Amino acid sequence: MNVLLMAYGTPYRREEIAPYYTDIRRGRPPSPELLQELEERYHLIGRSPLSEITYAQAVRLEAALNATLPLYPKPFQASPGPRVRGPARVYLGTKHWHPFIAEAVRAMAEDGVKQAVGIVAAPHYSARSIAEYREKVEAALAELGHPFAFRLVEAYHDHPSYIQALAQRVAEQLWRLRQPSQALFLFTAHSIPERSAQDGRYQAQVRETAARVAATLGLAHWDTAWQSAGRTPEPWIGPDVNERLEAAAAQGFGEVVVTAVGFPSDHLEVFYDLDYEAQNTAARLGLRLLRTRSLNAEPDYIEVLRDLVLREWAAWTQKPVA
């Protein structure tokens, strides 16, 4: 079984921020002001941990799959050497920095992969996320003459174990609230330009995730909000999380719990946009803001990925799910 795990990607060093940003902007270099502003955001958080987290997700997903799948199709190895190769192999490809998705697809082709399932560390489908990951894989496959067949898990916003993992982390915050029944629970995801969200599919999926977590915990007051809108002149979907905090203060809430359901991992958009910017907004408004910890590479999120990959593979190859 071959898996392509994909995520956003992050620069490793300061001098990589400019080419990384240029890649996000589809080859258009940012203005010096935009670049400086992004460099300052990275500097303020220290650095993004996204690459380490994504790497850990790939390694643990491969181990989880290999602990599940029967070993018998592999030839017996009397002396397996330092690494025991199981029947599953997970490749890692990231959207805007190394290892680029095209680099991962090339490595898979060189290894003789004939069939692979793809999954993204982003649970909700949008034209500016999952659709772009698919386009990048398809472009790389086309360039190599279609060396392997590919299927992508498109969304898992309502996967019961994903909902449960989120609910468990929101529940951890209940202990810290002075008045849990009077608190507002906000569920956030990355904003996208309005013109890319006209069919409402993305907004509906984020709302569905939030509704299911809220129902699991019986939350009295909850809502969705959007974060991290890009620095472009066009309108992006809202309300922005900072605007929603303003409204929460006006509604008389004193405590708010924010859960970034659109992001499984910690990174710039969590550490800067929530832990710095939204915290500052909350402090200015006299609100107490708590942030739910991220899923990262923890076992319950790896189990969600494992289950989705196995189901996609079984549906494709008609084999029962292990």
- Provide, rounded to whole angstroms, the least separation between the CB of residue 81 and ligand FEC: 35
- Secondary structure (3-state) at 297: coil
Assess 24 for contact with ligand FEC (CB under 6 A). Answer: yes
- Provide, rounded to whole angstroms, the least separation between the CB of residue 290 and ligand FEC: 21
- Provide, rounded to whole angstroms, the least separation between the CB of residue 38 and ligand FEC: 5
Asked whether 264 and 121 are in contact (CB, 8 A), the reply is yes
Report the residue number, 129 or 296, with the smaller CB distance to ligand FEC: 129
Per-position x/- string for 229-248, each x denoting binding to ligand FEC as judged by CB under 6 A, each - no binding: -xxx----------------
Tokens 């209940």: give the residue: 174
Residues 6+ apart with CB under 8 A from 229: 191, 236, 238, 240
117, β-bridge pairs: 3, 151
Q: For residue 78, count other CB atoms closer than 10 A to its CB.
A: 4
Evaluate the CA torsion angle 36, 37, 42, 43 in order and state its sign.
positive
Assess 260 for contact with ligand FEC (CB under 6 A). Answer: no
- Provide, rounded to whole angstroms, the least separation between the CB of residue 36 and ligand FEC: 12
Sole window of 135-143, 156-164, 226-234, 279-287 interacting with ligand FEC (rule: CB under 6 A): 226-234
Asked whether 187 and 181 are in contact (CB, 8 A), the reply is no
- Provide, rounded to whole angstroms, the least separation between the CB of residue 95 and ligand FEC: 6
Asked whether 158 and 208 are in contact (CB, 8 A), the reply is yes
Tokens 């002149």: give the residue: 233
- Provide, rounded to whole angstroms, the least separation between the CB of residue 111 and ligand FEC: 25
**In whole angstroms, what is the distance from residue 252 CA to residue 20 CA?**
42
290, β-bridge pairs: 257
- C-alpha atoms less than 13 angstroms from C-alpha of 30 in its C-beta half-sphere: 20
CA-based nearest residue to 92, from 125, 48, 62, 128: 62
Sole window of 52-60, 86-94, 228-236, 297-305 interacting with ligand FEC (rule: CB under 6 A): 228-236
Q: Would you state the structure tokens that stand for residue 103, as one six-digit string?
A: 């680099």
- Provide, rounded to whole angstroms, the least separation between the CB of residue 308 and ligand FEC: 16
Contacts to ligand FEC from residues 120-139, by CB under 6 A = 122, 126, 128-129
Member of 1, 2, 4, 8 binding ligand FEC (CB under 6 A): 8
Q: Would you state the structure tokens that stand for residue 17, as one six-digit string?
A: 């921020």
Assess 269 for contact with ligand FEC (CB under 6 A). Answer: yes
Q: Where are the alpha helices (DSSP H) in 76-129?
A: 101-110
Assess 38 for contact with ligand FEC (CB under 6 A). Answer: yes
Asked whether 59 and 53 are in contact (CB, 8 A), the reply is no
Assess 258 for contact with ligand FEC (CB under 6 A). Answer: no
Member of 134, 190, 212, 306 binding ligand FEC (CB under 6 A): 190
Assess 36 for contact with ligand FEC (CB under 6 A). Answer: no
Assess 205 for contact with ligand FEC (CB under 6 A). Answer: no
The CA-CA-CA angle for residues 302, 308, 312, to 5°, reads 145
Q: Would you state the structure tokens that stand for residue 78, as one six-digit string?
A: 């009397």
Sole window of 55-63, 142-150, 160-168, 265-273 interacting with ligand FEC (rule: CB under 6 A): 265-273
- Provide, rounded to whole angstroms, the least separation between the CB of residue 160 and ligand FEC: 22
Sole window of 21-29, 98-106, 250-258, 303-311 interacting with ligand FEC (rule: CB under 6 A): 21-29
Q: What does the binding site for ligand FEC look like in residue numbers (CB under 6 A)?
A: 8, 10, 21, 24-25, 38, 48, 50, 122, 126, 128-129, 190, 192, 230-232, 262-263, 267-269
